[in-house]
Amino acid sequence: MSALMADAAAKQPVVTLLRAHLACARMEFRAALTYRTAYLSSFAMMLLQIWLLTVVWKALYDGREEVDGLGLTTMTAYATLTTLQYHLVSPWRSSPIDQRVREGKVAVDLLRPVGFPGQMLAGQLGWASAAVPVLLVALPFALLIGAGQAPASTAAGFAYPVALIGALLVNQLLGLLLGMVSFWTLEVSGALMAYRFVAQFFSGALVPLWFMPGPIRAAAEWLPFQATAYTPAAVYLGQVEGVGIAAALGVQLAWIAALGTLASFVWSRARRRVLSQGG
Amino acid sequence: MRGPRVYLLLAGAAFRAEFQYRGNLFINIIGGLFYQGVGLAFIWAVLDRFGQVGGWGLGEIAFLYGMRLTAHGLWVLPGHQLIHVDEVVIEGEYDRYLVRPVSPLVQLLTRRVRLSSLGDLAGGSALLVIASASAPVDWSPGAVCFLLLAVVGGALVEGSLQLAASALVFRMKRVSPIKFAIDMIFSDFGNYPLKIFGPVAGFALTFVFPLAFVAYLPATVLMDRGEELAVPEWLAWGAPGIGVVLMYAAYRFWERQSRYYESSGH
Amino acid sequence: MPVIEVADLVKEFSRPKQQEGAFAGIRTLLTREQTVKRAVDGVNFTVQRGEMVGYLGPNGAGKSTTIKMLTGILVPTSGTVTVAGTTPWRDRSRNARRIGVVFGQRSQLWWDLPLRDSLWLISRLYDVPQARFREKQRQFSEVLDLGPFLDTPVRQLSLGQRMRGDLAAAMLYDPDILYLDEPTVGLDVIAKERIRTFVGELNRTSGTTVILTTHDLDDVEELCDRIILIDHGKVAYDGAVDELKTRYAPHRELVVQTDGLESVEGAEVVRREGGKVWLRFDPVRTPPADLVAAVLAQHRVTDLSIVEPELESVIHRIYADRG
């Protein structure tokens, strides 16, 4: 990401820059809270989703102790965890960019003394962090209606937050890339919907990778989406252990590097396009 | 017959406008295909691991899924624009609808058209035809008729839920989370025989959130599995009628709620 | 015959109270406190058929809220609105056929379609007979010079072209009343003039009642005989433009170019600059002719003019007085 902000960073001290990004984040955080009934209702919906998922898995297990060596409690804990994570990692707005483009506000954003992708990332993180307070409130309820479980081991407990941050970054970069598509085509809502379905499925948020049939599992393993949901949940529940944890985190890191490079490349093209067409 | 004529007039304009963006047409159709592909992959994954679900095999589940998807496509084709109800109301586009002698809801539904909905409908129908051939159904003319009515009824049930949720926008300003949640419940739970969820959830998904009427109830009686239902069979045969009733109720709700419209900026 | 009757009109909006200080965002989210804002607070007026009324007020005075209730967009909290015998919000569709609405900021046209298609669609939505539509389109094309861009998609039109298109669309079905909300905002002088001429002509030939809200008081001075001033949700003034000036700005100023004028009876020197002197007087107590005669009798004057107060400064003074 540093490459993305290089042009702006070169001219400014780090502290000012940090403060500017924090301001972007805080603005979006407040924007996310503006429509309070919707905000609160989205969490009621989340609890409902957790409850229904546990009902679905219980029904699918239909009294069996284990399927493919996995117990029902592990599975419901997985479903609870991924649903909770999903609200933080993948809020329903995947990027503010298409909206800014449609409303013609990009020109204003470009005038600000902070790099555009940096602003958008900070803003989106602020927007996503609006989930934190209610997530904390919702957590005990979620554990109550779902099936909560402690981390599988001490190592898992320490690795989980790292994996969660990795998941957040991968998803932010994906959202940024997707948002920048709107510089080429104005109407992205159709593509965004399709993206959500594909990303959600291959992230393992609906069906864990270990339940996917061979070819689909292979596809999921080679796509970046699994790093956004499956990886942290699998680490937490001890489905990957020891060296496996390091490998899973390594894959996340590789995706962050790859997507970051791609994003800075796309942005350099997008900026030229914006500058020549006036947003 | 002013109503249908005006609808066709506005829908025609939306189609003409949409053809100005050829690139999006392609992206949207790809999007539609992905949506269907993901749904199929999900069912495949579950049945691959769990064999049967509640005594239903791949043929039965595929038939259920085909019905739901076709109903979905049938609703989304005219109803897709409801997804933009938040921005239409917040940004005051709704003002414009109110100063024209045409139902504001009709103007909202015809503000744009999403051509990928045609893809949804075609894909769903194709799956339904294939699944129908392998499903254990005695295809008398009456059964075919009922299937068609049930699919229309299913579209009306889904539409009524989305319309009712959209109507809340006049008071809540932002209802997309609720509408996503409805979509979520449909896609997560609509593909299974609902009896596997036990009596409480089964009751709730029939009488509180009427998902059962979209595909499960009509599919069950068509496959002559009526005895496994927790509700009387006549209710399942009446699913298309339920769709009409719910849509009417949702429309009345929309009309009442729209009086709370506040416009933007004073 | 009154075409618009407004009685005791009130509109309130309630919002969750914005909290301040630490965790303001979250506290606003959780609060049950509501702030109720009275945007329109007991407005009364009637408009006769064929009048051209300027409806003016500063931002947030309740101007757009009133117009939205008149057009049927908003439902009043209390009070009544009757437009051509119907209640707009209750009988929305019938009201819509009798009114034309032009929002300067927001187009009524189909964004992605050529202007011609928009006009045709409007004619069908309002059941205009096709022969009549063709005649109207020809007439408007001539007066508003739509010809050069009839086949251009609306999103590619300039602001001035789009406004002309919007006006044509709003008048296509011969509405009795035309509501214009900031019709000239952002336009250049020539485009403004063209729109004013069109509206003035329309009122003279078809007797269309016009309700105009604008920040450009030149629009009002050129078009309206009557203005209604609204401030803090209440009517601050309702009457003729001339009378407003006499009441709130009774003074005129005589500007003379002369050599060393010290004072004149019946007038007060308010400003001096170069050889110019500004004399303020009340035309009722000191007839202008007498004042001019008095000045000419004592001084050698090379130039002389009487200045009328501008509407803009008059209105500024009213708002300043009311605080």
Task: Report pTM.
Answer: 0.78
Those residues with Cβ within 8 angstroms of residue C281's Cβ, 6 or more apart along the chain or in another chain: C251, C252, C253, C254, C266, C267, C268, C288, C291
C93, B263: Cβ pair inside 8 Å? no
C306 φψ region: left (φ > 0), alpha (ψ -120 to 50), beta (else): beta
C71 contacts B98? CB cut-off 8 A: yes
Q: Judge: C26–A33 Cβ closer than 8 Å, yes or no.
A: yes
Yes or no, beta carbons of C117 and B16 under 8 Å apart: yes
The 10 Å Cβ neighbour count of residue B180 is 16
Residues 21-80 in A contacting C (C-alpha not used; CB under 8 Å): 29-30, 33, 36, 39-40
Q: What are the residue boundaries of the structural domains of chain C, listed by start? A: 2-7+44-245, 250-322
- By C-alpha distance, the chain C residue nearest B100 is C96
Distance of CA B21 to the CA centre of its chain: 26
Residue C86 DSSP code: B
CA distance C254 to C261: 13
Give the sign of the dihedral formed by CA B71, CA B74, CA B76, CA B81.
negative
pLDDT tops 50 at residue A9: no
Of B98, B100, B260, the CB nearest to C125: B100
Distances (CA, A) of C75 to B259, B261, C14, C36, C66: 7, 8, 14, 16, 10
Q: Is C274 on the interface with A (CB under 8 A)?
A: no
B246 inside domain: yes
Measure CA of the first residue to CA of the last residue in chain B; give whole Å.
37
Whether ipTM > 0.90 holds is no
Residue C11 Cα, gap to closest chain B Cα (Å): 10
Beta bridge partners of C212: C54, C180
Q: Are A273 and A116 in contact (CB under 8 A)?
A: no
Which residues in chain B have Cβ-Cβ distances shorter than 8 Å to C153?
20
Tokens matching residue A29: 């955080």
- Assess contact for C277 and C270: CB atoms under 8 A: no
Closest-CA distance of chain C to residue A167, Å: 26
Is B43 among the domain residues?
yes
Q: Across the interface, do A133 and C28 touch by the CB < 8 Å criterion? A: no
* B266 domain-assigned: no
Distance of alpha carbon A123 from alpha carbon A134, whole angstroms: 19
- Quick count: other Cβ atoms within 10 Å of Cβ B44? 17
Chain A residue nearest residue C23, CA to CA: A30
Task: Name the one residue in this structure whose structure tokens are 């949700």.
Answer: C233
Contacts of B261 in chain C (CB under 8 A): 73-75
Using the Cβ of C33 and the Cβ atoms of chain A, whether some distance falls under 8 Å is answered with: no
When CB atoms are compared, the residue of B24, B41, B185 closest to A187 is B24
Q: Report whether pLDDT(B235) > 80.
A: yes
Q: What is the pLDDT of residue A4?
A: 46
Number of structural domains (chain B) is 1
Cβ contact, residue pair A33, C16, below 8 Å: no
Task: Read off the pLDDT of residues C113-158 as tens digits, 9 standing for 90 and up.
Answer: 999 999 999 999 999 999 999 999 999 998 888 989 999 999 889 8
pLDDT, tens digit only, all 323 positions of chain C: 799 999 999 999 887 666 666 565 566 656 667 788 889 999 999 999 999 999 988 877 888 899 999 999 999 999 999 999 999 999 999 999 999 999 877 888 998 899 999 999 999 999 999 999 999 999 999 888 898 999 999 988 988 899 999 999 999 999 999 999 888 888 888 888 989 999 999 999 999 999 999 888 888 888 998 999 998 899 988 999 888 877 777 788 888 888 777 788 888 888 888 888 888 888 888 888 888 888 888 888 888 888 877 777 777 777 777 65
Q: Which residue has the higher pLDDT, A264 or A130?
A: A264
Q: Does C25 touch chain A (CB under 8 A)?
A: yes
Q: Identify the pLDDT of residue B143.
A: 94
Q: Where are the alpha helices (DSSP H) in B135-238?
A: 141-167, 169-172, 176-189, 198-203, 216-222, 233-237
pLDDT digits (tens, 9 = 90+) for B11-48: 999 988 887 766 666 767 777 777 777 777 778 888 88
Integer Cα distance of C76 and C65 in angstroms? 9
CA angle, residues C92, C94, C95, in degrees to nearest 5: 65
Residue B57 lies in a domain: yes
| Residue B253 in contact with partner chain A when CB distance is under 8 A | no
Q: Which of A185, A189, A213 sits opposite B45 (nearest CB)?
A: A213
CATH architecture assignment, domain C250-322: 2-Layer Sandwich (3.30)
The CA distance from A259 to the nearest CA of chain B, in Å, is 22
Say how many C-beta atoms besides its own lie within 10 A of residue C36's C-beta.
9
| Superfamily classification of domain C2-7+44-245 | P-loop containing nucleotide triphosphate hydrolases (3.40.50.300)
Within a domain: B222: yes
**Closest Cα to residue A26, out of A165, A113, A130, A159?**
A130
Domain containing B14 equals: 2-260
Is the alpha carbon torsion for C226, C229, C235, C237 positive or negative?
Answer: negative
| Contacts with C21 from chain A: Cβ below 8 Å | none
Report the chain C residue with the minimal C-alpha distance to residue B98.
Answer: C73
